[in-house]
Amino acid sequence: MVHFSAINFSYPNSWYISLPFASHASAITVPDTPVLINDFCVIHAKIEELARTQDEVIPKNILEQFERRLKQWKEDDKKYVCTAAEKQVRKCILTRSSVTIVGNSGTGKSFLSRHVALTMMELGYIIIPCDNPGDIRQWFKHGRKTVFVFDDVCGRYTLNQQIFNEWTQRLEHIQSLLEDSCCKIMSTCRLDVYKNEQLNSLSIFKTCTIDLSSEEFRLNTAEKFALAEVYFQDNADKVAELSEKYDFFPLLCSLYHKQKLQKHVNIEDFFTNPFVVFENELVELYRVGKAGKINYCSLVLCVMFNNTLTEENFSTKDKEMAAVIDDLLEECELKKGTPIKSLKKSLDTLDGTYVVKEDSTYKIIHDKLFDILAKNFGEKMIQFFIDHAKTDFISERFLWKTADMGTEIEFAIRIPDNKINRYIERLLKDWENGFVDKVLTNRNMKSSSFTETFINNINKLDHSKQEDLAGTQDINSKGIALGESSYVGSVDLVRWLISRKSSINHCTKDHCKGRTC
């Protein structure tokens, strides 16, 4: 186990730009435990020099954003436990240009990638946390040792078509950048997303894969016990015995600790059925008076925004946001007019338990917890979520009928029959507003009964409105519904669109690359 906490970091503006000990990864021998640098004053001086001479490509304000993220990574890393998977990832990242860590939600993918990234700093690499493929082109510098770190590289819950398309469009250029041996990509991906056939075309994520859910790299008995010791000390034996039921054991340990559940939740109850525990926690949160309901409201808001809620969203000048919050306050039995700042303050108090703040964006602390909250809130407030949730959330999280889809989907929000028309109205609104690709890649489109109902609802619109929809361009790809419907294989929709004079010669902004137009 690596004890980074032994170093007295004061986190200057560019502390994570480490010294270039070797110019090529192939020249590095991997030690069992990464070498730690103790003379922080010397490092700080070198960092300032590097920031002046080598990193003009990255503005100071962006460096500060990276610093805040990496500072949190280092804090979380204090509870890291060495595993066989870590040794394999460290070995691969030094010899390969791209490494993908896959596994089910909660198995420790992000924790592992961030830990390895921190050890790479000690070998002279700059670590750049990334949000989209364009970050590579923007922050790449030839000859500079850089690791670009991506979480949920092609979507958090399902394959995100927009992100996938962007990777597809940039793939050739990114591959050319990876020819520079100093440039590396380390990414995480949910196993379900990784298995999507579309991802096979993104070869950079298939060349070197470590699957944390596999027999080879899942936590063994000794590793689970070591993890239990870190979090539970005297109760380690008991916790280790309960570790077999769920493969997201690392997440359960972390959440039990961060949410201070040990004060009122029995260890055995938690590890036997954590979902019931979290549901009960939400019920109790709602019951503890006005302050509890405000906390509950703020979590709903964070989920509804699909982890994209920013400080700017709390602006009192945003009339649309104010209307959403009024509806939310009514749902939560709070008086309209409750100051919007109280919701923001609530999220700040929940930071570290339910919420984490990255730069100016509030996010639920882990994807698995987000899944639990999304299903809980979404089904209790289904009309509110249908009306107000972000388009990505609408596309990914709701399911009507699964009988003809061939699989059961975990944590999906079930749409009752009496809400399906309301849901389709929301999709048509999104379509009209230019979110064409999101609507046509909605997971319900795989269901023949849904597409039939969807088309029936469109046919109730004025004929001119139908033709307008058929010709509406997506705000990002500039494609129209016919191209996306052809691509995903929605035969009935393709027929309908052609009957509404949709142009078969329309091209997207990337000239129909990868599309049937």
Distance in angstroms (rounded) separating the CA atoms of residues 65 and 56: 15
476 close to 162: Cβ distance less than 8 angstroms = yes
Q: Which DSSP symbol is given to 207?
A: S
Domains and CATH numbers, the chain: 60-211 (3.40.50.300), 221-272 (no CATH), 402-509 (no CATH)
Q: Mapped to the 3 state alphabet, what secondary structure does 123-191 carry?
A: CCCEEEEECCCHHHHHHCCCCCCEEEEECCCCCCCCCCHHHHHHHHHHHHHHHHHCCCCCEEEEEEEEH
372 close to 275: Cβ distance less than 8 angstroms = yes
Burial grade of 48 (CB within 10 A; 0-12, 13-18, 19 or more): middle
Going by C-alpha positions, the residue among 416, 434, 432, 328 that lies closest to residue 377 is 328
281 close to 388: Cβ distance less than 8 angstroms = no
Distance in angstroms (rounded) separating the CA atoms of residues 101 and 324: 38
Q: What is the largest CA-CA distance in the chain?
A: 73
Going by C-alpha positions, the residue among 166, 159, 155, 198 that lies closest to residue 509 is 166
The helix (run of H) or strand (run of E) holding residue 76 is: helix 60-76
Distance in angstroms (rounded) separating the CA atoms of residues 361 and 365: 12
Q: Which DSSP symbol is given to 204?
A: G
Q: Which residues of the chain have pLDDT under 70?
A: 1-56, 316, 402-408, 502-517
**38 half-sphere exposure, CB direction, 13 A CA radius:** 2
Burial grade of 256 (CB within 10 A; 0-12, 13-18, 19 or more): buried
The helix (run of H) or strand (run of E) holding residue 266 is: none
Residue 372's Cα: distance from chain center in Å? 15
38 close to 7: Cβ distance less than 8 angstroms = yes
Distance in angstroms (rounded) separating the CA atoms of residues 126 and 283: 44
158 close to 396: Cβ distance less than 8 angstroms = yes
pLDDT in tens, 215-258: 999 999 999 999 999 999 888 998 988 888 888 999 999 988 88
Amino acid at 263: K
Q: What is the DSSP string of 437-451?
A: HHHHT-GGGG-HHHH
Q: How many CB atoms lie within 10 A of CB 248?
A: 21
Distance in angstroms (rounded) separating the CA atoms of residues 386 and 378: 8
The helix (run of H) or strand (run of E) holding residue 414 is: strand 413-414
Q: What does the pLDDT read at residue 141?
A: 92
Amino acid at 4: F
What are the distances in angstroms from CA 302 to CA 1, 297, 354, 362, 499? 34, 9, 10, 7, 41
